[in-house]
Amino acid sequence: MPNEFHRRRLIASRFSVPRPVLFLDRDGVLIEDKHYLSKPEEVEVCPCAKTLLENACQENWPVILITNQSGIARGYFSWQDYELVTDRMLEILGPEAPLAGIYANGHGPDSVPNSWRKPGPGMLLAAATDLNLDLSHSLLIGDRLSDLKAGIRAGVPWLAHVLTGHGVKERKIVE
Active-site residues, by number, are 25, 27
Instruction: Please state, in angstroms and rounded to a whole number, the distance separating the CA atoms of residues 70 and 160.
Output: 23
Instruction: Please state, in angstroms and rounded to a whole number, the distance separating the CA atoms of residues 66 and 81.
Output: 17
Residues in the chain: 175
Instruction: Look at residues 131, 159, 127, 124 and name the one whose alpha carbon lies nearest to residue 145.
Output: 159
Instruction: Look at residues 131, 156, 116, 169 and name the one whose alpha carbon lies nearest to residue 1.
Output: 116
Q: What angle do CA 21, 131, 103 make, to 5 degrees?
A: 75
Burial of 32 (0-12, 13-18, 19+ CB in 10 A): middle
